[in-house]
Amino acid sequence: MSVSGVREMLKHVLGSLILLCLALPAVAAQPNIVLILIDDAGFTDLGVYGSEINTPNIDSLAASGVMFSNFHTAPTCAPSRAMLMTGVPSHRAGVATLDHLRPPEQADHPSYRGELANDVPTLAEHLRQAGYASYITGKWHLGHSPESLPIARGFDRSFILDASGADNWSQRTYLPQYEQADWFEDGQRGTLPDDFYSSEFLVDKMIEFIDQTESGQPFFSYIGFQAIHIPVQAPREYIERYNGVYDAGWEVQRQRRHDAAIARGLLPADATLGQVPERLRQWEDLSDAERERSIRSMQINAGMLEAMDFHLGRLINHLKATGAYDNSVFLVLSDNGPEHNHPTADAGFRLWLRLEGYSQDINTLGERGSYASIGPEWAIAGSAAGSLFKFHASEGGTRVPLIMSGPGIPASGVLHPFSFMTDLVPTILDLTGTPALTSGPAFTGRSLIDVLKGTAPAVYGPDDAIALEASGQSAVFKGDYKLVRNLDQYGDGVWRLHNVVVDPGETRDLSAEQPERVAQMLRDYNNFTADNGVLPMPPGYSGERMIADASTQKIIEKYGLTLLSMAAGMLFAILLLGVLLYKAVVKVRATTSGP
C-alpha cells in the first residue's frame, strides 16, 4: 500500500474513533460530597419541613433534590455521629452514649469507650482510597486522643470541637462538666479568633480547606454546625427578625408546625399530635416576665438557625464561583431531635453562669457573653408529630430531616421509605463509586441509591429489623412498626408498639392487640444487643441525676473556695446586721425609759 493510502486509512480510523467517543456517554468526574450536620434540629425546624424559620439555602437544596420524611437516627449526638461516620451501630463503633450519661459499670466496655473504635474505618478513610481529600470543621465529639482525632481517621485538614457543645461567641465551655472548650486544629489544640461566631468561622475554615485541594481532586467536606445546640446564641439582627413570631406561645406554634408538615406531605393527613407530658408548663400559666424570656429564647433559636443557613449559603456561593458546585452532592440532616434540657431554669446552674461570667440580661440575651435555652415546651413544638424530643427514643427524638441534592439524585420531592443514619456511608460510597475497605466490620446500613433513583420502593423489607439504644432509650423498627421504650426523663421503661407510618405521634399503643409482633420484635432487639455489646442499665439509673451530680461536683471543685468565701461573707453580713440591730434596739430602749 502506498504512503498516501496508509494516510487515508489512518484518517478514516481516526475519524471513526472520534465519532465513537462522541457517541459514548460522558463519564462524570467523582462528585464532591458536602455533608452538613445541624445540631439538635427537630423534624419541623427547617423552612421546607414546615417551619416559620427562614432557611432559603437549605430549602433550595431540597427543591433541587429529595427530602426524606421517615429518616431516623440515635436520640443523642455522639452515637449518631459515630453511625454517620462508620455505617455501623454506635456500640460497634465504640460510642454507645455520651460520657456524662455513662454509668461507671459500663466505662471499661469496648462499646462504651467514648471514642471511635480503631478497627472501624471512617467515611473519610473509605474515600481516601478513591483519591478524595477530606476536611472537617465543627463538632466532632468522637474522641480527642491522638488516635481518634479526625486527622488520624482519614481527614486531611480539621478544625473541630470534641465536646457536646460550647459557647458560640468565644472559646469557653457551656457546662460545668467541661474544664475548657476542647477545640483542635488538625492534631493540636486550636485557638479561636477574637471575632469568633461559630457558624461564620466554621464556613470560613471550610472554604480555606477546600481552596487547598489540588486541581481535579474530589473532596469530602463535613461541617458539624453548633447551631442550634444550647446555648442558643445569635447576632441581634437575626434575633429581631422574629419579633412577634412566637408571641402566641408554644401550643399554637406546635399546631402550626404540625399542620404545615401535613400540608407538605411529610406526615399523613390524619396524623395526630403526640401526648404532651404532664410535667410540661402551659403557656397560659406563665407570668408576663416568664413569657417575655421564653419568647426571646425562641427568637434566638430561630435566629441562630437562620444565621447558620446564611453562612451555608456563603459556602454554596463559593462552590459556584469556583466551578465546584455542579459536581457536588449535598446532604443536610440533624443528629437527633430538638434539645429539651433547660439549664437556665435551674437556680444552681444560674449561679454557675454568674461565676463563669455569662449574662442573663434579657436585653442582650443571645448576644456575646449571654446564655439561653428554649426548654421542653418549645422543643416538643419542633419534634416529629410532637412525640417527645432529644434523649428519648420516641419519634421526636429520632425522626429528623434529611435532604440530598446533586448529581445522581433526581429532584423527586418527598421520599417516604424508612431509612437510618447507618445508611449514609454506603450511600455516599455508591454515589462516589468507592468500594468499601475490607478491614472493618460489614455495614449494617444499606445504600439509598435505588430508592433515590426510583428503582426500588423501599430500603428495607418488612422482615428487616433495625434497632437502636442509647442509655436505655431503645427502639426496634420493622416494616411500618416500631417497638419503643423510654426511661427517664419522660419515660417509664415500658415497651410500646406503634405503627409510626400512620401514627407518627405514637398516640396508640398496639401491644395488647399484637402480642406476637411484640414478642418477635423483642427477640430482634435482644439479637441486636447481643451482636453489638449493648449493656443493661444498672438498677435505679437516671441520666438526669448523673448530669446534675456531675455538675454539682465540678462546680464545687472549681468554685468551692469562692462559694465558701461568699457564704462566709453573707454570714458575716448577717451577724453584723444583727449586732447593729441589737445596738439600735438597746439605744431606743435607753432613750424611751428615761432616768
Give residue-wise pLDDT tens across range 352-405: 999 999 999 999 999 999 999 999 999 999 997 889 999 999 999 999 999 999
Given this model, what pLDDT does residue 547 score? 80
Asked if residue 528 and residue 392 are part of one domain, the reply reads no
Residue 262, domain member (yes or no): yes
Distances in Å between the Cα of 533 and the Cα atoms of 95, 120, 160, 214 are 11, 15, 29, 42
Question: Of all residues in the chain, what percent carry a pLDDT higher than 90?
Answer: 83
pLDDT confidence bin for 415, thresholds 50/70/90: very high
- Mean pLDDT on 446-456: 97
Q: Is the pLDDT of residue 102 over 60?
A: yes
Hey, is 125 helix, strand or coil?
A: helix
- Mean pLDDT on 15-43: 68
Q: Is the pLDDT of residue 22 over 60?
A: no
Q: Please tell me the distance from the alpha carbon of residue 196 to that of residue 218, in angstroms, as a whole number.
A: 29
- Mean pLDDT on 561-588: 70
Give residue-wise pLDDT tens across range 170-218: 999 999 999 999 999 999 999 999 999 999 999 999 999 999 999 999 9
Q: Name, in order, each residue with C-beta under 8 angstroms of 22's C-beta and a sequence gap of 6 or more.
A: none
Given this model, what pLDDT does residue 237 score? 98
Rounded to the nearest 10°, the torsion over CA 517, 522, 524, 528 is: 160
Asked if residue 474 and residue 446 are part of one domain, the reply reads no
CATH of the domain at 528: 3.30.1120.10
Domain that residue 484 falls in: 465-532
pTM confidence score: 0.91
pLDDT confidence bin for 26, thresholds 50/70/90: very low
- Mean pLDDT on 220-242: 98
Asked if residue 424 and residue 559 are part of one domain, the reply reads no
Cell of 291: 413569657
Asked if residue 556 and residue 478 are part of one domain, the reply reads no
Given this model, what pLDDT does residue 588 score? 64
Domain boundary among 425, 453, 481: 453
Residue 106, domain member (yes or no): yes
Query: Could you list the active site residues?
Result: 77, 141
Residue 437, domain member (yes or no): yes
Given this model, what pLDDT does residue 579 score? 76
CATH of the domain at 295: 3.40.720.10
Q: Please tell me the distance from the alpha carbon of residue 155 to that of residue 135, in angstroms, as a whole number.
A: 6
Q: Please tell me the distance from the alpha carbon of residue 264 to that of residue 384, in angstroms, as a whole number.
A: 14
User: Mean pLDDT in the chain?
Assistant: 92
Query: How many domains are contained in the chain?
Result: 3
Given this model, what pLDDT does residue 244 score? 98
Given this model, what pLDDT does residue 10 score? 40
Q: Is the pLDDT of residue 584 over 90?
A: no
Phi and psi torsions of 220, nearest 5°: -115, 115
